[in-house]
Structure formats: structure tokens, C-alpha cells
Amino acid sequence: MTGPADIPVSPVAWTGAVRIIRSAYPPIDLFEDVADPADWALLISAEQKTNPRIMATIGNLDLVPADRRVGGSGASYLMAPFTHVSADRPSRFTDGRYGVLYVGDRFETALFETIHHHARFMARTGEAPGWTSQFREIILSVEAALHDLRAPDADTAPALDPQSYAAGQALAAMLRGMGADGIVYPSVRHAGGECAALFYPDCASNPSQGRHLDYHWDGERVDFVRDAGSGAVFRVVDLRAG
């Protein structure tokens, strides 16, 4: 039987990896403007004297170990997934008590992953068909030694169940407790694509903003994606792996 300690660890070095997030989330000034995370605690303490709502913007900084925090240009894209967490927002590899930075190895993989989750959200809201939320593409690099599920066996395959996150959350909690940096795994939503679930922000670097995207909801699924910059519209063809 395969246990967490038996899962192989592979070096992952992706340049041009992609994360797609909602455009509604602005950069967090502290992470962007102050390059040295060692200065953050004093600055937060001073800022709270005049701006008591600052922690709502920054989130819970204590969730990220001090030696694994990152700062400077683009740091919000790496830090925010770890400081803004909620049990109301579980995902494949967390129950919401700690953050995970999800990254696709290419644009198409990140796109299909987010389309799936956006469609689930839209189905629950009952919103009328039309162009809905705006998203932004974040291009970044990943360099980390990650527990490798790209060749799952009978024991690890449940962590990739397309319909349930239970096994994935349990496995990730054990791996993170063992000191793991994260997981690399085959995309469940884009055949041939790969994803990384990073447990700490310093496993990624060099984030920069790419395209702005609009998703079109037809009442049942996301059927079109629009590049907001060029105006080009692309039909979504379902290429899910399972």
C-alpha cells in the first residue's frame, strides 16, 4: 500500500506557467511595495494605528511562515492565496484552513481548470446567460521539489477524483504536515495538462500579468472566452480528462 512517504518527489521547473484569477482582486500594497518581508510586521503595526481595516486587506499573515514569505513586484499574486483562506472555499488539496497556490503548466490547462469552477459557481447562482466575470492571466515560474501524482496508483488515484475532494484534502494535509512543498498532478479538467498545488509562496517566482479574459455563460456551461484586450472570442471545446 502506498502511503504519503512513498509518493515520489520530482523536481518541477516550469517557466511560463499560468494561474488565472478574478480581476476583482486588486494587488495588496504591502506585498507589492515592501520587498523585504522582515519589515512587514512593524509596518502593519504602525499602519493599524490609523487604518484598523488593514488586516482585512492583507489577510492572516501568520498563515505563512516568516522565512517563506515573498515581497516585491507581483508578490500579491503569490501571497494572497495563503493569507486569504476560508473554510467556505475548500479545494482539491485544502479544506480551507490553509492556502494553496494552484498553477497550470500552460494557459489552456489553467483556462479549463477555472472554467470548470466558474461554471459550478454560475450553476448555483442561477444567473441569466451572458458575459459574466472578468479574469486575469498571471504568468509565473515554478521551481520546487513536489510530490508526484502524475502516475497515480490505486492508493493515490482517489486524490484526483473529478467529483470529490475528500481524498485529495486528506492526502495534502498529511504531506504538508510532513514538510512537503506541494503536489504535481495531471489536470482533471484538461487532458494532457499538468497542475501544481504549491503549499508555500516561495515555490513560485516572477509573476507578471498577462491577458484579461471574459467568460460567457450560456446557462449550462462556459461556452466562449473573450480576450478583453484584442476582443477576440474563442469557443470552448470540452477537453476534460475525466
Is the pLDDT confidence value at 4 over 90? no
Report, as an integer, the average pLDDT of 116-145.
Answer: 92
Whether residue 112 lies inside any domain: the answer is no
Residue 112 CB neighbour total at 10 angstroms: 24
Mean pLDDT of the chain: 87
Q: Does 220 reside within a domain?
A: no
Question: Would you say residue 217 lies in a domain?
Answer: no
Whole domain around residue 55: which residue ranges?
4-107+140-204
What pLDDT does 41 receive?
A: 59
Could you read off the pLDDT of 140-156 as tens digits, one per residue?
999 999 999 999 888 89
141-175: b (≥16 Cβ within 10 Å) or e: bbebebbbbeebeeebeebbeeeebebbbebbbeb
Banded pLDDT at 241 (limits 50, 70, 90) = very low
Compute the average pLDDT of residues 112-134: 90
Contact status, residue 210 vs residue 139, Cβ threshold 8 Å: yes
More confident call, 242 vs 105: 105
Position 97 in a domain: yes
Grid coordinates belonging to 209: 500579468
- Backbone torsions φ then ψ of 225, nearest 5 degrees: -125, 135
Indicate the number of domains in the chain. 1
Identify whether 124 is part of a domain.
no
DSSP 83-114: HS--TTS-BTTB-SSS--EEEESSHHHHHHHH
Kindly provide the residue ranges of all beta strands, DSSP E only, lying in the chain, ordered along the sequence: 9-22, 101-104, 130-148, 182-186, 194-198, 204-217, 222-227, 233-235
Q: Is residue 52 part of a domain?
A: yes
- pLDDT at position 124 over 50: yes
CB 144 within 8 A of CB 10: no
Is 235 part of any domain? no
Q: For the segment 163-215, what is each residue's pLDDT rounded down to a tens digit?
A: 999 999 999 999 999 999 999 999 999 999 999 999 999 999 999 999 999 99
Answer whether residue 117 is part of any domain. no
Condensed to tens digits (0 to 9), the pLDDT of residues 47-95 reads 554 555 555 566 788 899 999 999 888 888 999 999 989 999 999 999 9
* The pLDDT value given to residue 242: 39
